[in-house]
Amino acid sequence: MASDTSPGLAVGGAQRVMGAETEFGIHAPNSPGANATYLSSQVIAAYARLSRARPADPGTSWDYTDETPLRDARGWAVPRGRAHEDQLTDVEPILTAEAVALAHGPAEIELDGDQEPALMNLVLGNGARLYVDHAHPEYSSPEVTNPRDAVIWDLAGDAVALAAVRALADDAGRGPINLYKNNTDGKGASYGTHENYLVPRAVPFSDLVSGLTPFFISRQLICGSGRVGLGQDGSGPGYQISQRADYFEAEVGLETTMRRPIINTRDEPHAVADKYRRLHVIVGDANVSHVANYLKFGTAALVLSLVEAGRAPQIEVHEPVEAMHRLSHDTDLVEKIRLLDGRYVTGLELQWIYFEAAAKLAADTGVASADGGDGHTAHVLARWEQSLNDLAGDRDAAAGYIEWLAKLRVLDGYRSRDGLSWGDARLGLVDIQWSDVRPERGIALRLAARGSLETMADAASVAAAVSEPPADTRAWFRGTSIKRFPGSVASASWDSVVFAPPGSYRLQRVPTREPLRGTKALTQALFDAHEKIEDFLTALLGERRT
Amino acid sequence: MAGQEQKSTQPRGEEEAAEVDVPTPAAAPAGAQDTESTHGVDDLLDEIDNVLETNAEEFVRGFVQKGGQ
């Protein structure tokens, strides 16, 4: 089944078309009360100015043609009139003059005329999208084919965020705007970190729900990023494993900003709709720890392979939403949750059940073998097993790469040294500053720099990923088109690139609905052979040119 | 725990140890008490002290986000 939909990728393992979306917390310390959407647009504009200075990466706007945020995987669509405005992500957000004016303070309600138009969307030369999502700057990574690349191109987004922060800090007129790779302000607001996985349309959605729910409620144990405070508003004293867990209120649903469901049903495939669905995962935390991020993508990809193979563990959790909250609050990992068959299991036991099933499937298909394996699955399985063993047996070791434990170790250090209670503002500060994207300020990045938090991706790979798209997906065609024909790509999206050849009144839309086409192997020769965009398009499209 | 809850929030170096009526706060986590890892954590905290935003109270209060996805 998977071989049908993912040609070239091994079946049964951790390879899969995937990507990450990271919304950054945003804070302008000199402008309390500034409009968050406006601040976010300043981040996008700052990066656009930087990338325009480098002609190879000019930035392109978004093509909304194929967005379908109201289509539900269960077989219906929400009528537009009944949707919440947050759900209408298929139109360009509009920043009103009032919002801009408010950002500058009421005394400057008259705009001075030299304001740049607010920039809300960019497509980058690495194939990523950088845009304003509601009230946050968001980086959506290009499509990749494995969890290691998912980590690298997500880290490229952190580098993009850092570059924008630096540029804004240097710009005296605007003052600093700082960005945080986290998911909550600790006062009731949560913003998401989403994963996307390509799944064959033929897999029944109900199989995804039943196969993934017990996995997702326990996955936080290995990839939660930790949070000071309990409850949505964080007012309960204490520390919990996941940033996001408390914000989930439903088992299955379409929304992402309210009544958040463990399994999201948005059916917006960004690919050939008859063949694929894009599973939109909203339960994950933003990770600064490379290994935690890797485990997040790698284990989810393995469990999706189990579901596809019809070999997902048959587990039904009693009241999964409540169980998810309870597991997040249990840093000792002793809490047992009830299954519908009468058993009681810990979160770690749930993870072991999934691990064993994934390891068995990999053994049966050969994807994890030393010779002939896919080069990814064996490593994900090894790290997954190690993390479960360490969490139960050697928490000091686990704190070297499990993000919530690494953060807890710092917080407990403060509690022990300075006798702070959980409500102390300094612990709240450590929690927020943990994820500051600036290496000199971000506490997790400081830990990584001193070797206390393991890194997997070296700086050179991440720097390359800021400007280079992955070679093995359609992101390569998108990113290379933007870099190769700067100024002549009017817009792009996951499944299109829209060219505006100079001197032509016509736009030429090139659909890219097959995620594993448009690769370097398939299109490099075409880019090499045709210097001029007209020739390139003719060669690419032939008779199909409109 | 009692010692911990009556503790002030002064930064390190204010001789807060003298104010604590028990040798070490009881709530210290398993693993953080043994000498080697305590030293590691102490070094770490010293480093973090130097980069923490000043005025934690104000910073945490001011870090207000609008909701998102």
Is B51 within 8 Å of A421 when comparing Cβ atoms?
Answer: no
Active site members of A: 133
Nearest chain B residue to A232, by CA? B67
* Residues B5, A89: Cα–Cα separation, whole Å: 47
- What share of residues in chain B are helix, strand, coil (percent, to 5)? 45, 0, 55
Inter-chain residue contact B68 with A429, CB threshold 8 Å = no
Residue whose entry in the numeric block shows the structure tokens 């359609």: A474
pLDDT value for B14: 38
Q: How far is B39 from chain A (nearest CA, A)?
A: 10
Q: Which residues of A touch B64 (CB under 8 A)?
A: 185, 187, 189
- Tell me what the pLDDT averaged over chain B comes to: 63
| Nearest CB to B27; choose among A396, A415, A446 | A415
Cβ(A143)–Cβ(A128) below 8 Å: no
Residues in A touching B42 (Cβ below 8 Å): 413, 417
pLDDT in tens, A159-217: 999 999 999 997 766 679 999 999 999 999 999 999 999 999 999 999 999 999 999 99
Least confident of A90-94, A168-172, A358-362, A395-399: A90-94
Query: For residue range A22-53, what is the model confidence (pLDDT) as tens digits?
Result: 999 999 988 877 889 999 999 999 999 898 76
Note the pLDDT of residue A2: 42
Tokens of A173: 């007129």
Residues of B with CB under 8 A from a CB of A: 3-12, 16, 20, 24-25, 27-32, 37, 40-42, 44-45, 47-48, 51-53, 56-57, 59-69
- Is residue A112 predicted with pLDDT exceeding 70? no
Cβ atoms within 10 Å of A56's Cβ, excluding its own: 11
What pLDDT was estimated at residue A460? 97
pLDDT score recorded for residue A83? 87
Residue range A108-133: average pLDDT? 73
pLDDT (tens digit per residue) in A457-486: 999 999 999 999 999 999 999 999 999 998
φ/ψ (deg, to 5) at A526: -65, -45
How close, in Å, is residue B58 to chain A by CA atoms? 9
Nearest-Cα distance to chain A for B67, in Å, is: 5
Question: For residue B12, what are the CA distances in angstroms to A526, B16, B57, B59?
Answer: 63, 7, 17, 19
Q: Which of A133, A417, A430 sits opposite B69 (nearest CB)?
A: A133
Rounded to the nearest angstrom, the minimum Cα separation between A486 and chain B is 32
Give the C-alpha separation, A519 to A522, whole Å. 5
Provide the sign of the torsion angle of the four alpha carbons A441, A447, A448, A454, taken in this order: negative
Q: How many CB pairs under 8 A join A and B?
A: 150
C-beta neighbour count of A74 within 10 angstroms? 13
Q: How many helices and strands, by DSSP H and E, does chain A display?
A: 17, 20
Q: Say what the pLDDT of residue A114 is.
A: 46
List alpha helices for A309-346, DSSP H.
320-328
Q: Which residues of A touch B57 (CB under 8 A)?
A: 425
Place of tokens 């929304």: A255
Q: Considering chain B, what percentage of its residues have pLDDT values greater than 90?
A: 30
Q: What is the pTM of this model?
A: 0.89
Residue A537's pLDDT band, with cuts at 50, 70 and 90, is very high
Q: Per residue in A338-353, is it b (16+ CB within 10 Å) or e — as a string?
A: ebeeeeebbbbbbbbb
Between residues 110 and 139 of chain A, which touch chain B (CB distance below 8 Å)? Answer: 133-136
**How many whole angstroms separate alpha carbon A226 and alpha carbon A224?**
6
Query: What are the chain B neighbours of A136 within 8 Å (beta carbons)?
Result: 65-66, 68
Long-range contact set of residues B13-20: C-beta below 8 Å, sequence gap at least 24: B16/A418, B16/A419, B20/A419
Identify the DSSP state of A89. Answer: T
Does A184 contact B65 at a Cβ distance shorter than 8 Å? yes
Chain A CB contacts of B45 below 8 Å? 410, 413-414, 417
ipTM for the whole complex: 0.89
Q: In this predicted structure, what is the pLDDT of residue A51?
A: 83
Greater confidence (A78 vs A376) lies with A376
**CB-CB under 8 Å, B59 with A135:** no
CA distance A521 to chain B (A): 36
Terminal-to-terminal C-alpha distance of chain B: 38
Question: Is B7's pLDDT higher than 60?
Answer: no
Question: Between chains, do B69 and A450 touch, taking CB under 8 Å as contact?
Answer: no
Residues of A with Cβ-Cβ distance to B61 under 8 angstroms:
425
Among candidates B41, B51, B63 on the partner chain, residue whose Cβ is nearest the Cβ of A440: B51
CB A66 within 8 A of CB A270: yes
Average pLDDT, chain A: 91
End-to-end CA distance of chain A: 35
Shortest Cα–Cα distance, A137 to chain B (Å): 10
Q: Checking phi first, is residue A227 left (phi over 0); if not, alpha (psi -120 to 50) or beta?
A: beta
Query: Among A232, A227, A236, A246, which Cα is nearest to A431's?
Result: A227
Closest CA to A230 of A241, A219, A220: A241
- State which residue of chain A sits closest to B33, comparing Cα positions: A416
Both structure tokens of A155 = 């880290």
Smallest Cβ–Cβ distance between A413 and the set B3, B16, B32 belongs to B32
So what's the pLDDT on residue A53?
Answer: 63
Nearby residues of A154 by Cβ (< 8 Å), 6 or more positions away: A20, A22, A139, A141, A293
Q: In this structure, which amino acid lies at residue A201?
A: R
* Closest-approach residue (CA) in chain B for A257: B69
